[in-house]
Structures are given as structure tokens and as C-alpha cells.
Structure 1
Amino acid sequence: MWFDTWSDLGRVLAVGAAAYATVVLVLRASGKRTLAKLNAFDLIVTVALGSTLATILLNADVSWAEGAVALALLAALQFLVAWTTVRLPGGRPVVTARPTLLLLDGAPLQAALRAQRVTLDEVRQAVRASGSGDLSSVAAVVLESDGTLSVIPASKAGDRSALEGVSGVVR
């Protein structure tokens, strides 16, 4: 179907503008953390915000007011979870996975690779992307809680204090 009615197009324009303004206000009010990609939960909230905006725009059965409440609810729940994980010691592990060490001093940690379902080729790709051509020149590769791979060159490892809290690190 290419076209229904002019009123449908008008609704999308009017509700779309109002919904966009609402998203901007909700995001400004809720702070930078709402769109951060710090962990899987943050990604879920970002996707849910986009999905909610699309539903408000395209589903005539959803009013702008209902959509605005849904957007505000998502931002409030994200704020609550973030607040809980920062202030309660046991809150963070419930929502966020710990980073995991995958390579140490140039040697792949096979058990960690298997447990995290990461291939050695993916680790090599991250090492190459960091500008290194030799695994032995890498102090550590860490699978972060947001799914990215962090590469720490041996020349910049220092006292390795950045590895505190990483699963698989023995200090």
C-alpha cells in the first residue's frame, strides 16, 4: 500500500514532532547515562526507547500521551537500575556481567574464550585493530561488559591496576 489518507500523514507529522520533542526532553532530564553503552542493560533501554518512538509514530492505536508515559517510564526504570547498581554492592552483578580476561601476556586463555564464546580469531582482530601485529606485545585482552574487546599493549600495562575487577585476573 502506497498511500491511505492525508489525515494519516498529518497524524504522523503532528504526533512525530511531539514524540520527538518528548524524547529529547526525557533524555535531557534523565541524563547522559540513559544513552550510554556501558552494559547490555543500557543497550536494551536504548533499543526500547527507539522501538517506543517508532510505535508512537506509526501506530494510530497508541496516543502521544501513552507514548510519552512509556518513554518516561523507560528512562525512570533505567535511572532506578543505574542508581541501584552504583549504591548497592550486590546490585551491579545482577544487571551487569563482569569483564573477562581473554588473553594474558600474549597467551590466550582457552577456558575463558570458550566460556565467553569468543574465538581466537576475534581476539586477533581486536589486537590488529589496536595497531599491534604480535600477540606477545599484548599484556591483556578483556571482554568488557558491553561486549567490546579492550586491548592493553605490554608497553602500556603499567601496574595493571586497570585490570582490577576483571574476571580471571589473579593479583
Structure 2
Amino acid sequence: MWFESRHNIYRVIVVGVAAYAGLVVLLRASGNRTLSKSFDLVVTVAFGSTLSTILVNRSVSLAVGLAALALLVVLQLAITWLSVRSSFVSRIVKTAPTVLLREGQLRHEALKRVQVTGDEVMGAVRQHGYGSLHDIDLVVLETDGSLSVIAARQAGDRSAYGRLGDETG
């Protein structure tokens, strides 16, 4: 119940690291939109699932379950720490904001790349109370998967666009 063997804990660490890396790769392969919305949710669900397994599965000792929970915490902290300090890691685990519409014109290549439809962009524009794409300066798919809509009359000096302002058509 409390502890079976070190071998089981080592197995949790090795399999856990490999599974976590596999999760990152699979979510990344599924596209920017999926990665941005899913990664934190998947890790949160993994915590709950691991805790549940510890509580109800008699074949999982407390030590193995706690090792699994600790591993999830350590991996999450490591990814966060590395993504702040390494642009390479940051590009792997985080998405960049993507301009989907600029000055009323849909950017079809960007839409395809991030797997968003023009209808979704138009829906976001309507939800913000606009009836014409020509009233819109910019629609951005943000890193969290949400769509930001900036009206042309609200664009100001565009200083909030950051590097987005450097992109062309």
C-alpha cells in the first residue's frame, strides 16, 4: 500500500518523462490552435487522473502515485522555466499570435496554417458587434486560442501589435 519497490518509481519517472515529451510532440503536430487550448488542460486532467488512480487502484502504491504527481509538477515547472529562458523551448510548447485578418482582408495562408476558418473569424467579428470586415483593422489568433478583434477606429498607433505590426499582408 505505501511502498513496493524502487523499480516501480523508476518506471514512473522514465515512462512519465517519455509520455510527457510524446504529449508535447502530439499536441504540437495537431496544430497551433489545439496546442494552445489543450496543453494546460491535459496537464490538469493528468493531475486529477493520477490522484484518482492513487485513491482507487489498489495495485498503485502511495509512493508510486506520489512519484507520478511529483513528476508532473517537476515537468510542468521545468517546461515553464525553460520556455521563459529558451526561445527554442518556447517555440515548441507555446504558440505565437497569428494575424488572421489585416485591414479587412482575410489572410488565407495564415488561416490554413493555424486551422481556423474564415467563418470563425467572421463569427468573432460579429460577436464584437461589427457587421463589416472593412471596419476591422486586425484579427489575431492569440496564444491561448482566443480571437482578438481590433476595430480600425480603435487601432490607434498600433503599439499593442508588437511584432505583429511588422508582418506584411
TM-score in same-fold range (> 0.5)? yes
Structure 1 outlier segments of 4+, above 4 Å: 37-40
Question: Helix, strand or coil for the counterpart of 1:102?
Answer: strand
Matched with 1:6 is none
Matched with 1:131 is 129
Deviation at 1:53, TM superposition (A): 2.4
Matched with 2:151 is 153
Q: Is residue 125–residue 133 contact of structure 2 (8 Å, CA) maintained in 1?
A: yes
Alignment of 1:36-51 (within 5 A): 40-51=38-49
Matched, 1:75 2:78: no
Deviation at 1:111, TM superposition (A): 1.2
Question: Helix, strand or coil for the counterpart of 2:126?
Answer: helix
Q: Aligned AA for 1:100?
A: T
Equivalent pairs counted in the alignment come to 135
Tell which has more relative contact order, 1 or 2 (C-alpha 8 A, sep 6+).
Answer: 2
Q: Is residue 126–residue 151 contact of structure 1 (8 Å, CA) maintained in 2?
A: yes
Structure 1 residues without counterparts, runs of 5 or longer: 1-36
Deviations 1:128-155 (A, max 9, x none): 2223232222211111222222222223
More helix per residue: 1 or 2? 2
RMSD of Structure 2 on Structure 1 (CA): 2.6
Give the % identical residues.
48
**TM-score, normalized by length of structure 2?**
0.67
2-structure distance, mates of 1:87, 1:127 = 35
